[in-house]
Structure 1
Amino acid sequence: MEKPYKIKNNMRHFKFHDTLHYLQHKGREKFGKEFRIHNEDIKTLHKLIIYMIHEDIQCKKYGIDLKKGILITGPVGCGKTSWMQIIQTIILPEQTFQVKSTRDIAFEFNQNGFNTIQAYGKRQRAFCLDDIGVEQNIKFYGNECNTIAEILLQRYDLLVNHQIVTHATTNLTAKEIENLYGKRVRSRLRKMFNLISFPPETKDKRK
């Protein structure tokens, strides 16, 4: 039986290829034996790994700010959501975070109203908004609200006041995010996130 490869936070050196091997093993446990790491993804995964284990020297090299969260962008099906789940196998339990679809949050707003915004916007721990931009404005008793925009603004306040990070994934470009959420939200996103991108030519791995 394969032994897990454990990574300690703030370590100066780590065996990157051993880490990839371990993550592929955990990916197959979760998603099936067909799961594998593609060569085209390795540069992106390297940045994701060094952020998650707080490898500060390499993070500085790539301009990654450990005080911010991460925004993972890339084409549909490139693996953004899957990797935000798998990557948590190499971090400490107290650093783990829920990955929640923005579409599901929007539907929760339809059921529970503005309490939904408070529940996610003011959550006092790291959190990942998955697939921002796919949700639509949902009405609650006739009141329309850009639910995710409001949550992002509250999460920005959490970062500023309590140093609690937020993560996110999206298929959108920066301009598309601005068109959907407005200039104020886009401005906040620059201060909230490190951008980690899968190449635009990355293939849909679900096919």
Structure 2
Amino acid sequence: MEQIENPKIIGTLVSRLVQPRITKARFRLPFDEDTAKKLLACAIEGEVRGRGGTFACTGPVEMQIGRLAASLTSGKRYGVILCGTCGNGKTTMMRAFQNLLNVLRLPDNYHKKTYGMSIVNAGHIAYLCRSNYEGFLGLCNTEMLGIDDMGTEPLEVQEFGNMHRPMVDLLTRRYENGTFSFITTNLVPQQIRNLYGERIADRLNEMVDKIIFENPSFRGV
């Protein structure tokens, strides 16, 4: 005890405790915002045309692209969440970003590979949690993950007698791991808080930038 109370030992312990941990860098697009906006717009146009549609860069869409570009070039968060009603381009934007990553082949020096993003539906996340827990854990640890339609999955599932909350468990692990998440949901922020609870809502606030889609559905237009 006397040894530990030695000022020199205490000083050494304090210096070690307050040292920043070595962590992997947060993902960011290595471009300025304007370049990122142009690349994202091209990727979205390609995604729309690939499905036989016509891309119209309206005012709201241009604003959404601008906010996404600002988020992805800042490196301040571990991802984004796109919130809005059905059919207004959220999933299209997520798939466009996935395609952009595939074309850019940006180096992920931490993992010695190129960046790429898997996309999985929220309902499938719950299915994996119930029937293939190892596969579910693999999603939790995936470096870049697209989560489509958060809020449509069962809130609780049972796996061999164990009750799980798939989305809560997934987001908690991804928060702890500092991994990149690109999320789409038809829920507004207050609905997310009501559905998943205060803790997950607060962690999402720290994890991701929120982009609200207020434009109406493009389907049938």
TM-score range, shorter chain: 0.7 to 0.9
For 2:219, what is the secondary structure of its paired residue? coil
Residue of structure 1 in register with 2:139 after alignment: 120
Per-residue deviation at 1:24?
Answer: 4.8
Q: 2:131 aligns with which of 71, 92, 111?
A: 111
Name stretches of at least 5 consecutive residues in structure 1 with no aligned partner.
Answer: 1-8, 57-64
Contact persistence 1:69–1:192 (CA under 8 A) = yes
- What CA deviation, in whole Å up to 9, does each residue of 1:92-151 have, x standing for no partner? 322331121111111222322x3243111122x111211111101222234332111001
**1:5 alignment counterpart:** none
The 2-side partners of 1:154 and 1:17 are apart by: 31
- Quote how far apart the aligned CAs of 1:13 are: 6.5
The alignment covers a number of residue pairs equal to: 182
What one-letter code is carried by the residue in structure 2 that aligns with 1:85? Answer: R
Corresponding residue of 1:151: 170
Provide the rounded CA distance (Å) in 2 between the counterparts of 1:196 and 1:141: 38
Work out the CA distance in 2 between the residues paired with 1:13 and 1:117.
Answer: 35
Q: Tell me how large the CA RMSD over aligned residues is.
A: 2.6
2:98 is the alignment partner of 1:84: no
The alpha carbon displacement at 1:206 in A equals: 2.0
1:44-83 equivalences under 5 Å are 44-52=64-72, 54=73, 56=74, 66-83=76-93
Range that drifts further, 139-148 or 28-37: 28-37
Give me the TM-score of the superposition, normalised by structure 2. Answer: 0.71
Say which SS state the counterpart of residue 197 (structure 1) adopts. strand
Moved over 6 A (4+): none
**For 1:176 and 1:42, how far apart are their aligned partners in 2?**
26
Q: Is 1:206 aligned with 2:216?
A: no
Q: Is there any run of 5+ residues in structure 2 with no aligned partner, and where? A: 1-28, 106-113
Is the deviation greater in 132-141 or in 30-39? 30-39
**Percent of pairs with identical residues:** 23
Shift, 1:71, TM fit: 1.0
Match of 2:63 in 1: 43
Give the 3-state SS of the residue equivalent to 1:10 in structure 2: coil
Match of residue 33, structure 1, among 40, 47, 53: 53
